[in-house]
Structures are given as C-alpha cells and as structure tokens.
Amino acid sequence: MRWGFLTASRIANKWANALNLLTGEADLIAVASRDTEKAASFAAQHGVSEVADDYRSLVTRDDIDVVYVSSPHSHHLEHALLAIEAGKPVLVEKPATPTMGDSLRLIEAAADRGVFLMEAMWTRCNPIILQARDLISRGVLGDPRLFQASYPVRFVAPDEHRIFNPDLAGGAILDLGVYPAHLAHALLGRPDRVGAFGTLTHTGVDNTSVAELTWQSSKGTCLGTLVTSLEGEGLQRLELVGTAGTLAIENFVKPDRMTFTPHGGQPQQFVTSYPPGGYTFQAQEVHRSLRLGRTESELVPWQSTLDVAWLLEHWIDGVRRSADDSHPDTASEDDA
C-alpha cells in the first residue's frame, strides 16, 4: 500500500517509523505540509521521495493508495474531506473531529463516495485489547461492575500551543481523554449516561477533569470513571472489575501486558510484543480492510467513532458547566 501523509506532525513521524518497518507491505511515497521546510526535513528523515506543493495535489496523486491526516483536531474534517472527495481512503488521527456532528458529516461523505475511512485509534487494534474483549465476550470476567481509567500528563508549553488553544480544539479531553474513552467503548460499548466535572485553563480549554459513566443492562449496572489532566504525571492504568474477576492494564496507552485475576484465584498474565510504538497493528488493519474492499474497519468501526464523539462532547460540556461561576456545583448528566 502506497501512503501519502497530509502534514508532517510529531505523530506523523511516529507513523512513518512504523510504516518503514512494514517492508514489502507499506511504502510512504509523499508528504505535504504548509511548512515546506518541515516537509522537506520529514522527507529526508524517512526516505520519502516526494514533497507535495499543497494538500490537494497530494490527495489527487494517482500513485497514492491511502492518505493519513494528522493535522490539529480542528482541521481534521476539512483535510479528510479533501481526500474523500478525491476518492482516496483515509486514516484520520484521533479524535476524528472535535464534535459528533462533524464526525457524522465525515462518515456520511465516506459512505456516499464508497471510500474507506478510519479513525486512528491504534490501541483498538492492539492484541492485548483484543484479548480483553475476548475474555469479556466469553463471560470469563462475569458481569462488569466497575471501570476505571486515567491519563494525566504534565504539559508545559506556551499558550499558543495547540493543546492550550481553543481555536485548535485544545484541551486534555480531546488529546488524552480520547484514549480511555475509546477503550471504555471497546470493552463495554456506549454508556447510557455521562456526567462530568473539572477545571479550565486560563486559555479556556479543559484542564483536569473526571467523567462518570453508567452502563445499564439486564445483568445489572456498571459504573465507570475516566480521568485526564494537563497538570501532573500519573499512571495510565485501566481496571475493569467484574463479578468473576478483574482485568488490569498498567499502561493502556502502550499496552504490552494485561493481568486477569479471577476472584479467589491466581493472577493470569497476557503478554504481547510488537515493534516500537505498536502502530504497525493499525497500519495492517488499514491494509487488511482495503484488500477486502471494505469502507470501514471491523476494529475501529464508524459507530465507535460516533459513540466516542458523543461521549467526549458530553464530557467537555460537563466540565464547562461545572467550571462556570454561575453554576459552581453543577455537573452535566445526560441521558443517551
């Protein structure tokens, strides 16, 4: 598969390193960036033969099979639509867009054109996460009762950096919270209720916050908490407690091991190994989907993108309400 990269971002560098490991399976042949010097440096570093003059000229190249979009969240819709309108399959960085409405628009465009589209949530393609899903589906965990995941990072940067810039869809939730949100969805599906509270930075984006989730079923209620922050380092730990045992992943951002402990039994550890970063799993999922002629991935389906966008929207809205001086004690709680 011949890839073209739309922007030469930091995450694009990681992706290029992953693709270069897939000898004979992937070839990165072109990159485009509004910063031509940055694009030229990226091309030299990763052995890319072509630097496109602009985004449109990249997505219309006949020698590109799939386009990867890694611009700021605020520009994902515009840039992914360029590729879709050119009939090119697209892998767009997470979150697919900052809102559920824009994500729906993107998916509808892909469906109308019959073009492959996938949100780049690579952890959903990781063997450890797939193993966790298998244990849950087979009832090994029993009935889920409690889900917890946190992703705090101390982020120091100027106010104009994209993560602090509201015009670029900044904030911890869209940048970090998307990880635990997608994994909660991968393991348990869309929650029935979302409540949230937190704080804002002085630039107006979410800073430290908690989302409270509820899943209802005929087998009972499962409660969940998602935590994210730009103010301090901490563990990226995921834990799911069921009536028959507990699943724990110590680093769900780069999961290479998982422990299942049956109640009253001995811990069982599941381990995987993968090339640095683990992005190769996602690349291979894109390749597999395209070779099968699919417009969406089985591991990161369109519905997961919409459900998580819905969750993130309510999480952000709840934080803003709780941080509003006129509603100091209010948390958002929305029915599905």
CA angle 278, 282, 286 (to 5 degrees): 155
Alpha carbon distance 102, 95 (integer Å): 11
Q: How many CB atoms lie within 10 A of CB 114?
A: 10
Phi, psi of 93 (to 5 degrees): -60, 155
> Does 94 qualify as catalytic in the annotation?
yes
Of 14, 88, 94, 219, the catalytic one is 94
Alpha carbon distance 28, 22 (integer Å): 10
Both tokens assigned to 15: 């992706």
Segment (H or E) for 212 = strand 206-217
Indicate if the alpha-carbon torsion angle 229, 230, 235, 240 is positive or negative: positive
Task: Select from 82, 104, 4 the least CA-distant residue to 50.
Answer: 4
CA 38 to chain centre: 25
Per the CB < 8 A criterion, the answer to whether 29 and 92 are in contact is no
Residue carrying structure tokens 């628009």: 105
Alpha carbon distance 153, 249 (integer Å): 18
Residue carrying structure tokens 């990867």: 68
Give catalytic residue positions.
94
